[in-house]
Amino acid sequence: MRSLITGGAGFIGSHLVEHLLARGDSVIVLDDLSTGNIANLSAVRDDPRFELVIGTILDPAVVLDCVSRSDRVFHLAAAVGVKLIVDEPLASLRANIHGTENVLAACADTGATLLLASTSEIYGKNESDSLSEESDRILGSTLKSRWSYAAAKGIDEAFAHAYWTQFGLPVSIIRLFNTIGQRQKGRYGMVVPSLVGQALRGEPLTVFGNGKQTRCFSSVHDIVPAIVRIAESTVAYGKAYNLGGAEEISILELAELIIRTTGSTSEIELVAYENAYGSGYEDMRRRVPDNTLSHELVGFVPRIRIEAMVREVAQSLSTAVDGDDWIMSQAHPAHVPAGAVS
């Protein structure tokens, strides 16, 4: 089995690469290294069953070439992170909508099966006790860039569903809730690596708003095997599945837990949203998954506790050597030529 992973040099993608290679797959990664990093792939770089193609999903020819050499596709490439979306709304929309359609069209051309990574963000401000796949979406104004990620991922899902209903494309959708672990970076607004990094540096932990907003974090190590099992289920075609954590925690409680776990002397500083993301920024008060469908389909149960996840992130940030950061500064995505790098 040969799998293509778009976005495979990123946080979740690189864990998926290792998981699939360990199972005996051959793996192609297509990534423009915009938020991903070659260092994330250092453990697999010399594996003869692994190939890295540096290129963008916005190039239909590159996408078609990679897809045509694959039996199945895990589409994870996307502009991710609140800060990136707010700072670069146009590039984010293009990557997240046009790039995804390129991947869908290539799969329809070649017959490859597809798993599309979507997000709990699509539920927007729906704060119900438990969000199921049929729950309503409550999004803020289109004039607020913050919602463009949720809007684009919603369009991706609608595209995927249309390819399934009109062309019978075997595509399944996962909606990831906040997923954390080793290799996630804080610089694009991801809360756990941001707060852990501040704690390790002895800086104040900046918590936005009043800190009472809650999330359910899950470990990448629980999520990745479930992603593969969903991709392998023919029952999942044309459907969407939540994959989220089991413990609801406020961001203030999270910051306290991070200080305790890292033994930091840092304090917590509440920062108004507008100071971080400009005026009119909106956040959701809570986001809690109903994992019933993914549990019934593939037995998904999030097992790793938040304390262990925080320890892992702290360990990885304190030992991280971002030796490949020069690549990110020297090769802007638009200038990275497509080509295979083994």
If we measure between CA atoms, which residue out of 179, 182, 197, 187 comes closest to residue 287? 179
CB 227 within 8 A of CB 115: yes
Between residues 37 and 264, which has the closer beta carbon with respect to ligand NAD? 37
Decide the pairing of beta strands 113-119 and 72-75.
parallel
Q: Which is nearer to ligand NAD, 36 or 289 (CB)?
A: 36
Tell me the closest approach of the beta carbon of residue 263 to ligand NAD, in angstroms.
Answer: 26
Per the listing, tokens 């046009």 go with 98
The Cβ of residue 129 has, within 10 Å, a number of other Cβ atoms equal to 8
In angstroms, what CA-CA distances link 104 with 67, 156, 270? 10, 9, 42
Q: How far apart are CA 200 and CA 203, in angstroms?
A: 8
The nearer residue to ligand NAD, 270 or 331, going by C-beta atoms, is 331
What angle separates helix 191-201 from helix 251-262, to the nearest 10 degrees?
Answer: 40
Least Å distance, CB 92 to ligand NAD, is: 9
Contacts to ligand NAD by CB under 6 A: 6-7, 9-13, 30-36, 56-58, 76-80, 95, 99, 117, 119, 176, 178-179
Burial category of 235 from C-beta neighbours within 10 Å (exposed 0-12, middle 13-18, buried 19 and up): exposed
CB of 5 to ligand NAD, least distance (A): 9
CB of 250 to ligand NAD, least distance (A): 17
Query: Smallest gap, in angstroms, from Cβ of residue 58 to ligand NAD?
Result: 5
CB of 117 to ligand NAD, least distance (A): 4
- Write the DSSP string, 212-247: --EEE-EEHHHHHHHHHHHHT-GGGTT-EEEE--S-
Question: Which residue type occupies 310?
Answer: V
Residue 149: active-site member: yes
Looking at the Cβ atoms of 9 and 314, the one nearer to ligand NAD is 9
Run of H or E including 153: helix 148-167
Q: What is the SS3 string spanning 88-111?
A: CHHHHHHHHHHHHHHHHHHHHHHC
In whole angstroms, the minimum distance from the beta carbon of 265 to ligand NAD comes to 28
Phi-psi region of 320 (alpha: psi -120 to 50; beta: other; left: phi over 0): beta
3: nearest Cα among 31, 25, 30: 25
Residues annotated as catalytic (active site), given as ranges: 149
